Amino acid sequence: MKIFLDTARIDEVKQWVDTGLVDGITTNPSHLSTQGDQPTQIIAQLSQLLPNKPISVQVTEHEPEAVYKQAHAIARLGPSIVVKIPCKREYYSIIGRLVEEGVLVNVTLVFTLEQSLFMCKLGAHYISPFIGRWDDLDVDGSQILYRIRAMIDTYHYNTQLLAASLRHMRHLHAAIAARVDIVTLPVTLLEQATGHLLTDAGDKKFTQDWQKLSGAIFP
Ligand code: G3P
Protein backbone atom coordinates (compact mmCIF):
# COMPACT_ATOMS: atom_id res chain seq x y z
CA MET A 1 0.00 0.00 0.00
CA LYS A 2 1.30 3.42 -0.90
CA ILE A 3 1.21 6.42 1.43
CA PHE A 4 0.73 9.91 0.06
CA LEU A 5 0.90 13.14 2.06
CA ASP A 6 -2.20 15.30 1.74
CA THR A 7 -0.62 18.72 1.86
CA ALA A 8 0.85 21.59 -0.14
CA ARG A 9 3.21 22.61 2.67
CA ILE A 10 6.85 22.38 1.67
CA ASP A 11 8.01 22.20 5.32
CA GLU A 12 5.74 19.21 5.99
CA VAL A 13 7.00 17.34 2.93
CA LYS A 14 10.64 18.11 3.82
CA GLN A 15 10.03 16.81 7.31
CA TRP A 16 8.68 13.46 6.10
CA VAL A 17 10.47 12.72 2.85
CA ASP A 18 13.54 11.22 4.58
CA THR A 19 11.47 8.64 6.43
CA GLY A 20 11.10 6.73 3.17
CA LEU A 21 7.35 6.43 3.76
CA VAL A 22 6.14 9.05 1.31
CA ASP A 23 5.15 7.68 -2.11
CA GLY A 24 3.45 10.81 -3.43
CA ILE A 25 1.48 13.93 -2.60
CA THR A 26 -2.08 15.06 -3.06
CA THR A 27 -2.85 18.75 -3.09
CA ASN A 28 -6.12 20.55 -3.60
CA PRO A 29 -7.17 24.20 -4.03
CA SER A 30 -7.79 24.52 -0.28
CA HIS A 31 -4.25 23.36 0.55
CA LEU A 32 -2.66 25.56 -2.13
CA SER A 33 -4.70 28.61 -1.13
CA THR A 34 -2.88 28.66 2.21
CA GLN A 35 0.59 28.74 0.62
CA GLY A 36 0.73 32.15 -1.03
CA ASP A 37 -0.07 33.38 -4.50
CA GLN A 38 2.50 31.36 -6.48
CA PRO A 39 0.89 27.90 -6.64
CA THR A 40 2.90 26.89 -9.72
CA GLN A 41 6.13 27.44 -7.77
CA ILE A 42 4.83 25.38 -4.89
CA ILE A 43 4.11 22.50 -7.26
CA ALA A 44 7.61 22.83 -8.74
CA GLN A 45 9.14 22.69 -5.25
CA LEU A 46 7.05 19.67 -4.29
CA SER A 47 8.16 17.93 -7.51
CA GLN A 48 11.81 18.61 -6.64
CA LEU A 49 11.38 17.13 -3.19
CA LEU A 50 9.78 13.97 -4.56
CA PRO A 51 11.16 13.42 -8.06
CA ASN A 52 9.30 10.79 -10.09
CA LYS A 53 6.59 10.40 -7.45
CA PRO A 54 2.98 11.27 -8.29
CA ILE A 55 1.81 14.72 -7.24
CA SER A 56 -1.90 15.38 -7.66
CA VAL A 57 -2.85 18.92 -8.64
CA GLN A 58 -6.49 19.90 -9.01
CA VAL A 59 -8.09 21.93 -11.77
CA THR A 60 -9.66 25.20 -10.68
CA GLU A 61 -11.62 26.05 -13.83
CA HIS A 62 -15.31 25.17 -14.09
CA GLU A 63 -16.52 25.22 -17.69
CA PRO A 64 -15.66 21.79 -19.20
CA GLU A 65 -13.52 23.01 -22.13
CA ALA A 66 -11.62 25.32 -19.75
CA VAL A 67 -11.12 22.38 -17.38
CA TYR A 68 -9.83 20.31 -20.30
CA LYS A 69 -7.30 22.98 -21.33
CA GLN A 70 -6.21 23.62 -17.76
CA ALA A 71 -5.79 19.88 -17.18
CA HIS A 72 -3.33 19.71 -20.08
CA ALA A 73 -1.48 22.79 -18.80
CA ILE A 74 -1.22 21.25 -15.32
CA ALA A 75 0.00 17.95 -16.79
CA ARG A 76 2.78 19.81 -18.60
CA LEU A 77 4.19 20.93 -15.22
CA GLY A 78 5.97 17.59 -14.98
CA PRO A 79 5.96 13.93 -15.97
CA SER A 80 4.65 12.71 -12.63
CA ILE A 81 1.95 15.33 -12.22
CA VAL A 82 -1.50 13.79 -11.83
CA VAL A 83 -4.45 16.01 -12.67
CA LYS A 84 -7.27 15.95 -10.15
CA ILE A 85 -10.73 16.44 -11.60
CA PRO A 86 -13.95 16.57 -9.56
CA CYS A 87 -16.35 13.70 -10.21
CA LYS A 88 -19.04 15.80 -11.88
CA ARG A 89 -21.16 14.56 -14.78
CA GLU A 90 -20.27 17.51 -17.00
CA TYR A 91 -16.61 16.44 -16.84
CA TYR A 92 -17.12 12.77 -17.76
CA SER A 93 -16.37 13.24 -21.44
CA ILE A 94 -13.21 15.23 -20.79
CA ILE A 95 -12.00 12.69 -18.22
CA GLY A 96 -12.23 10.03 -20.94
CA ARG A 97 -10.49 12.29 -23.45
CA LEU A 98 -7.67 13.21 -21.07
CA VAL A 99 -7.05 9.56 -20.22
CA GLU A 100 -6.92 8.66 -23.92
CA GLU A 101 -4.47 11.49 -24.50
CA GLY A 102 -2.12 10.15 -21.84
CA VAL A 103 -2.85 12.61 -19.02
CA LEU A 104 -2.70 10.98 -15.57
CA VAL A 105 -6.09 11.55 -13.94
CA ASN A 106 -7.14 11.36 -10.29
CA VAL A 107 -10.91 11.76 -9.99
CA THR A 108 -11.63 13.53 -6.74
CA LEU A 109 -14.72 14.17 -4.61
CA VAL A 110 -15.95 10.61 -5.15
CA PHE A 111 -18.66 9.57 -2.71
CA THR A 112 -20.52 6.56 -4.09
CA LEU A 113 -19.95 3.10 -5.53
CA GLU A 114 -21.66 4.14 -8.77
CA GLN A 115 -19.39 7.15 -9.25
CA SER A 116 -16.43 4.85 -8.66
CA LEU A 117 -17.64 2.36 -11.27
CA PHE A 118 -18.18 5.10 -13.84
CA MET A 119 -14.68 6.51 -13.30
CA CYS A 120 -13.18 3.03 -13.63
CA LYS A 121 -15.05 2.61 -16.91
CA LEU A 122 -13.58 5.91 -18.13
CA GLY A 123 -10.10 4.61 -17.31
CA ALA A 124 -9.22 7.04 -14.51
CA HIS A 125 -5.82 6.18 -13.06
CA TYR A 126 -6.92 6.98 -9.50
CA ILE A 127 -10.25 7.49 -7.75
CA SER A 128 -10.37 9.38 -4.46
CA PRO A 129 -13.37 8.55 -2.28
CA PHE A 130 -13.66 11.09 0.54
CA ILE A 131 -14.25 9.25 3.78
CA GLY A 132 -14.31 11.99 6.40
CA ARG A 133 -16.88 14.07 4.54
CA TRP A 134 -19.36 11.17 4.71
CA ASP A 135 -18.68 11.02 8.46
CA ASP A 136 -19.46 14.73 8.64
CA LEU A 137 -22.99 13.74 7.56
CA ASP A 138 -23.11 11.05 10.27
CA VAL A 139 -22.63 8.22 7.75
CA ASP A 140 -19.83 5.66 8.21
CA GLY A 141 -17.69 6.73 5.26
CA SER A 142 -15.14 3.93 5.47
CA GLN A 143 -17.67 1.26 4.40
CA ILE A 144 -17.57 2.51 0.81
CA LEU A 145 -13.92 1.48 0.57
CA TYR A 146 -14.74 -2.23 0.90
CA ARG A 147 -17.40 -2.02 -1.80
CA ILE A 148 -15.19 -0.11 -4.21
CA ARG A 149 -12.35 -2.61 -3.66
CA ALA A 150 -14.69 -5.52 -4.44
CA MET A 151 -16.01 -3.74 -7.54
CA ILE A 152 -12.53 -3.01 -8.93
CA ASP A 153 -11.40 -6.59 -8.29
CA THR A 154 -14.57 -8.15 -9.70
CA TYR A 155 -14.33 -6.30 -13.00
CA HIS A 156 -10.52 -6.23 -13.15
CA TYR A 157 -10.21 -2.47 -13.58
CA ASN A 158 -6.75 -0.92 -13.44
CA THR A 159 -7.88 2.15 -11.50
CA GLN A 160 -6.07 2.66 -8.19
CA LEU A 161 -8.21 3.13 -5.10
CA LEU A 162 -6.91 6.17 -3.19
CA ALA A 163 -8.60 6.69 0.19
CA ALA A 164 -8.85 10.42 0.90
CA SER A 165 -10.26 12.72 3.57
CA LEU A 166 -8.96 10.45 6.33
CA ARG A 167 -9.20 12.21 9.66
CA HIS A 168 -8.26 9.71 12.38
CA MET A 169 -6.76 6.30 13.09
CA ARG A 170 -10.02 4.40 12.63
CA HIS A 171 -10.16 5.68 9.06
CA LEU A 172 -6.59 4.52 8.46
CA HIS A 173 -7.30 1.08 9.94
CA ALA A 174 -10.39 0.73 7.75
CA ALA A 175 -8.47 1.77 4.65
CA ILE A 176 -5.82 -0.88 5.31
CA ALA A 177 -8.46 -3.52 6.04
CA ALA A 178 -10.30 -2.61 2.84
CA ARG A 179 -7.06 -3.21 0.88
CA VAL A 180 -6.95 0.22 -0.73
CA ASP A 181 -4.00 0.86 -3.05
CA ILE A 182 -3.12 4.23 -1.53
CA VAL A 183 -3.98 6.35 1.49
CA THR A 184 -3.40 10.07 1.46
CA LEU A 185 -2.80 11.32 4.97
CA PRO A 186 -2.67 14.72 6.62
CA VAL A 187 0.64 15.05 8.46
CA THR A 188 -1.15 15.08 11.82
CA LEU A 189 -2.44 11.57 11.12
CA LEU A 190 0.93 10.28 9.92
CA GLU A 191 2.50 11.71 13.08
CA GLN A 192 -0.06 9.87 15.17
CA ALA A 193 0.36 6.62 13.25
CA THR A 194 4.16 6.59 13.50
CA GLY A 195 4.36 7.07 17.25
CA HIS A 196 3.20 5.01 20.20
CA LEU A 197 3.30 5.65 23.95
CA LEU A 198 4.19 2.04 24.71
CA THR A 199 7.08 2.09 22.22
CA ASP A 200 8.46 5.22 23.89
CA ALA A 201 7.92 3.82 27.41
CA GLY A 202 9.51 0.49 26.48
CA ASP A 203 12.50 2.21 24.90
CA LYS A 204 12.97 4.34 28.01
CA LYS A 205 12.86 1.27 30.27
CA PHE A 206 15.42 -0.63 28.14
CA THR A 207 17.70 2.42 28.27
CA GLN A 208 17.38 2.73 32.06
CA ASP A 209 18.11 -0.97 32.57
CA TRP A 210 21.10 -0.89 30.25
CA GLN A 211 22.60 2.08 32.13
CA LYS A 212 22.83 -0.15 35.23
CA LEU A 213 25.77 -1.90 33.56
CA SER A 214 27.72 1.36 33.92
CA GLY A 215 30.16 1.50 31.05
CA ALA A 216 30.04 -2.03 29.60
CA ILE A 217 31.54 -2.17 26.12
CA PHE A 218 29.07 -3.72 23.75
CA PRO A 219 29.50 -5.44 21.38
O1 G3P B 1 -7.42 14.69 -0.24
C2 G3P B 1 -8.67 15.24 0.09
C3 G3P B 1 -8.62 15.84 1.43
O4 G3P B 1 -7.72 16.92 1.43
C5 G3P B 1 -9.93 16.28 1.95
O6 G3P B 1 -9.86 16.18 3.30
O7 G3P B 1 -10.48 16.61 5.61
O8 G3P B 1 -10.92 18.35 3.84
O9 G3P B 1 -12.28 16.28 3.94
P10 G3P B 1 -10.95 16.91 4.23
What pLDDT, on a 0 to 100 scale, did the predictor assign at position 104?
98
Q: Residue 27: is its pLDDT beyond 80? A: yes
pLDDT tens-digit map of 106-135: 999 999 999 999 999 999 999 999 999 999
Contact 16, 195 (CB under 8 A): no
For the domain spanning 2-210, the CATH number is: 3.20.20.70
Q: Residue 215: is its pLDDT beyond 90? A: no
Q: Mean pLDDT for the chain?
A: 97
Contact 42, 10 (CB under 8 A): yes
What pLDDT, on a 0 to 100 scale, did the predictor assign at position 60?
98
pLDDT confidence bin for 218, thresholds 50/70/90: confident
- Does the global pTM surpass 0.85? yes
Taking the CA of residue 31 as reference, the ligand 1 atom at the shortest distance is 4
- If you measure from the C-alpha of residue 154 to the centroid of ligand 1, how many angstroms do you get, rounded to a whole number? 28
pLDDT tens-digit map of 142-167: 999 999 999 999 999 999 999 999 99
Catalytic residue, from 14, 69, 84, 121: name it: 84
CB atoms within 10 A of CB 102: 7
What pLDDT, on a 0 to 100 scale, did the predictor assign at position 6?
98
Q: Residue 33: is its pLDDT beyond 90? A: yes
69 classed as catalytic: no
The verdict on the CB of residue 184 being under 6 Å from ligand 1 is yes
- If you measure from the C-alpha of residue 77 to the centroid of ligand 1, how many angstroms do you get, rounded to a whole number? 23
Ligand 1, atom 6, lies closest to the CA of 165
